[in-house]
Amino acid sequence: MKLIKLMAVTASTTALMASAAMADTTLNALFMSQAAYSEDNIKSMTSAFEAANPGTRVELEFVPYEALHDKIIAASGAGDDGYDVVLFDVIWPAEFAERGFLTDVSDRVAADLTSKIFDGAWTTVEYDGKRYGMPWILDTKYLYYNTEILAAAGIETPPATWQDVLAQAKVIKDKGLVEYPLVWSWSQSEAMICDFTTLTAAHGGVFFDDGKPAFETGGAKAALDYMKTSLGDGLTNPASLEYFEEDVRRVFSAGDAAFAMNWTYMNSLVNDPAESQVAGKVGVMSAPGVSGVSEASAVNGSMGLGIPANSPHADEAWAYITHLTNQATQEEFATLSLPIWKGSYSQSAVTDGQEDLVAAADKSIAVMYPRPLVASYTEVSSILQKHLHGALLDQTTSEEALGNAAKRVARIR
């Protein structure tokens, strides 16, 4: 009898240990260490998730945005050792869906969520009628301006159009207030493409027409001409040709620029005395339009969270994504990235202290313009980056740069 009881206890203990082992899950999650939520934000969100889900632990990995795409692709061949949750850009779902890198989660998304989240946010994770994740970062680039410099130049109102931006920048430069009033992230990178897209949208341009490149003329050419003019007239800091977003923030925060284009996250940091010399002297607005063409302009710079197709922990990964993207979590961390939820914009936790940003977002979200939503986007972007950058370096004219880019893009489409 004692032997039987001992065997029963041993079997019971073994079963409990096996059950515990099965319950303990480690998720590998990939994020970027650039713009939007900070690493500390994401770690805090993750700690709250782990506390509420004691059987699940999350290993976080942070990489620069420029490494994110290739990391996701490389891990797709790693089997169970790949990622369980990945952050992806709005420009990648077409490629990732067609190549089978992301899991279709359409059936996991509750039907009542569709109307509660901005349409522009949903486009971040949709392709061919399916959803490949949850939108998380609802973002675009805003125009930041130094109110003290504008006042010293006798400028009473911020610019209403992109033409006004150059006119005001010239006044500021002529008065000797700053050497280069404008600063941008125009390194040969995706950051430059985002600014080019904003300006293309403002000028009424398009990337493709009936599936063929259409960016060598019209609004896209006007956008590149605008960029070149700002450099040629000495209004844009020439170092912008090497800058990323954090470089823009650094220059603007030092008081060395009157205007800067950057993402939501900069608003909080440039108004933090510990991070900025211009705290309390910053205005933010939606990127302006072009007289007779548009009233505002914005690039869709949103990002989503998805489950790689090779993840062995899809259920736990979805629970983690649900936690990161829920309304309460986003409202708690709304200073570096505004929520995807329509209802959040009436909450004091979101609006207090950043009323100007919320007002700018209200205008910008409505006009967010996409970069080309094609499966070959990475190649298209690379071609554009090379030729646009060459034009900005005065190696070619706008016509030559965009014409050559269009010919190359046509060959891969």
- What is the domain-level CATH number for residue 326? 3.40.190.10
Query: Same domain for 80 and 189?
Result: no
Q: What would the mean pLDDT of 92-105 be, rounded to a whole number?
A: 94
Greater pLDDT, 336 or 22: 336
Q: Are residues 161 and 132 part of one domain?
A: no
Shared-domain flag, residues 247 and 383:
yes
pLDDT average, residue stretch 53-78:
93
Length of the chain counted residue by residue: 413
Residue 238 lies in a domain: yes
Assess whether 126 and 217 both reside in one domain. Answer: no
Q: Is residue 405 part of a domain?
A: yes
What is the predicted pLDDT for the residue at 373?
Answer: 84
Shared domain check, 33 and 61:
yes
- Using one digit for the tens of pLDDT, what is the confidence trace for 362-389? 999 999 999 998 889 999 999 999 999 9
Q: Check residue 77 and give its pLDDT.
A: 83
The reply to whether 165 and 239 lie within a common domain is: yes
- What is the structure's pLDDT at 412? 87
Same domain, residue pair 237 and 123: no
Per-residue pLDDT, 15:
41
Is 241 among the domain residues? Answer: yes
Residue 43 near residue 60 (C-beta atoms within 8 A): yes
Same domain, 165 and 280: yes
Alpha helices in 326-397 (DSSP H): 327-332, 348-351, 355-365, 377-392
Q: Mean pLDDT over residues 187-211, rounded?
A: 96
- CA–CA gap between residue 237 and residue 254 (Å, rounded): 14
In a domain, 159, yes or no: yes
The tokens for 352 are: 């207090």
Is 316 in the same domain as 397?
A: no
In this structure, the dihedral spanned by the alpha carbons of residues 111, 112, 118 and 124, taken in order and rounded to 10 degrees, is -20
In a domain, 365, yes or no: no
The answer to whether residue 352 sits within a structural domain is: yes
Over residues 303-336, the pLDDT tens digits come to 999 999 999 999 999 999 999 999 999 999 998 8
Stretch 166-189: mean pLDDT, rounded? Answer: 98
Domain count, the chain: 2
- pTM check: above 0.85: yes
% of the chain at pLDDT higher than 90: 87
Domain that holds residue 293: 142-299+376-410
Tokens 């493709």 correspond to 208
Q: What is the pLDDT of residue 297?
A: 98
Q: Are residues 251 and 351 in the same domain?
A: no
Residue 156 lies in a domain: yes
Do 42 and 119 sit in the same domain of this protein? yes
Q: Do the domain assignments include residue 265?
A: yes
Q: Residue 4: is its pLDDT beyond 60?
A: no
d(CA 51, CA 53): 5
Domain termination residue (choose one: 329, 358, 387): 358
Output the average pLDDT for the chain.
92
Residues 45 and 91 in one domain: yes
Q: Is 92 helix (H, G, I), strand (E, B) or coil?
A: coil
